[in-house]
Amino acid sequence: MKMSKSILVKLIALAVALVLAALAGVEFYNYRHTPETVVASSALTETHMLSEWVPSLKGTFGDTPVFFFDSGVEGGTMLYLGGTHPYEPATSMSAYVMLNNITVQKGRVIIIPQANRSATTLGMLGNAYPPYYKVETEWGTAQFKNGDRWANPLDSWPDPFTYMHYPSNLALTYQDIRNVNRCYPGRPDGSLIERVCFAIMEIIRNEDVDIAIDSHEAAVMYPVVETYVAHDRALDMAMMASMSLSADRFYMKCEASPKNLRGLSHREWGDYSDTLAVLMETPHTFTDWIVGPMTDDLQPVGQDEILKIAAEHGLTYVDYDYEFGTPLKYRVGRHLEGAKEVLSWANDMQLMWENKDIQVTWPSYNELMEKDCGYFLENPETADPSLVFEI
């Protein structure tokens, strides 16, 4: 029987669709299962997985490496968190630069570069932006993931109609059950991200973390940008750090953690432990709502014509200079300098610290601005294999 022309066209269309679906499936699979490779400083003393604090995370995409740098000299303990929202990549990049270059003279530093590892396994659903961004190094071009804000639905399904935060019972939007910065203090038998948050809380409590810093990026049209958000006990320290930075390096605001907002690190870390909790925000055009084309350069360079017009009409919350943009080196430098300045003031305010100083060295804001991020990333192929990790 002779096949009609319409049937032949339909079969060809079906074949093309199947080929495209297969190619997309391969791309999605590779993105989900390809880790980022990073190098740690020789000052590294211990490496753990988050599942050691909540065993049910083992074998899931919620599990993630935790790096300890112990000077061997008695002092305080600091936690630095990157990757709470992986589509804010200066947070994980600042953790990678810190990880690769840190030395600790007194006390301990704990680094978690990818707090929401599941969210690194997909791009933002419904947003057509590049899956990767690139960093130029002395040994070639390194590629890193843009990621998403929320954990992958494949790892946490189904979402509830409304997420009821534990233990406050505050009603939040449904996808916040996959948001690391909405699920603190977490619970050991909860959803994937509630367990991740509980594990981070257990590190803070069990390791006697004196100061905990959660790094973030914010849209230039978002009010809480270029800002420390600090828990009650950390507010004086963060306020002094913001004034010091604003005086001679870059502008930084300071806000008190609202007591009626629940699930956020700057509130729940301080309420459910003795740590001094601080969140940092850098300006990040890639997350703005009205940007133009999501090009490969928008993430590392941050130049956007539409935001330029918005800034000219006073619609941004920071001074947005189109010619400068919001380059990755600037945002990473702000995080590293912001964390160091908070630490410096914590050391100076001895009444808060009970003489538990933390003395550390890592690249400064000025060094990042001069040399860029790639200068501070070691080649994993030539590094000591015992210091190379996949995240």
Question: Which amino acid is it at 17?
Answer: A
List phi, psi (to 5°) of 147: 70, -170
Encoded tokens for 54: 């909540």
d(CA 211, CA 208): 9
Q: What is the pLDDT of residue 352?
A: 62
Q: What is the pLDDT of residue 286?
A: 86
Choice among 1-5, 129-133, 304-308 with the minimum mean pLDDT: 1-5
Mean pLDDT of the region 147-160: 94
Q: What is the pLDDT of residue 92?
A: 98
Architecture of domain 30-386: 3-Layer(aba) Sandwich (3.40)
The string of DSSP codes covering 247-312 is HHT---EEEEPPTT--S-HHHHHHHSSSSEEEEEEEE-GGG-SS-S---TTTTTT---HHHHHHHH
Q: How confident is the model at residue 2 (pLDDT cuts 50, 70, 90)?
A: low
- Domain definitions of the chain by residue range: 30-386
Choice among 9-13, 46-50, 91-95, 220-224 with the minimum mean pLDDT: 9-13
Mean pLDDT of the region 119-138: 87
Mean pLDDT of the region 368-379: 98
Encode pLDDT of 319-367 as tens digits. 999 999 999 999 999 999 999 999 999 999 875 667 789 999 999 999 9
Mean pLDDT of the region 129-155: 94
Q: What is the pLDDT of residue 351?
A: 55
Task: Output the CA–CA distances (angstroms, integers) from residue 114 to 53, 74, 84, 136, in the order listed.
Answer: 16, 28, 7, 21
Q: What is the pLDDT of residue 252?
A: 98
Mean pLDDT of the region 18-46: 91
The string of DSSP codes covering 162-201 is SEE-TTT--EE-GGGGG-GGGSTT--TTS-HHHHHHHHHH
Could you tell me how many residues make up the chain?
A: 391
pTM, full prediction? 0.95
Q: What is the pLDDT of residue 289?
A: 84
d(CA 28, CA 121): 8
d(CA 132, CA 64): 20
pLDDT higher than threshold 80 for residue 216:
yes
% pLDDT > 90, the chain: 83
Q: What is the pLDDT of residue 128?
A: 73
Mean pLDDT of the region 129-145: 93
pLDDT higher than threshold 60 for residue 1:
no
The string of DSSP codes covering 311-380 is HHTT-SSS---TTT---HHHHHHHHHHHHHHHHHHHHH-HHHHTT---EEE---HHHHHHH-GGGG---T
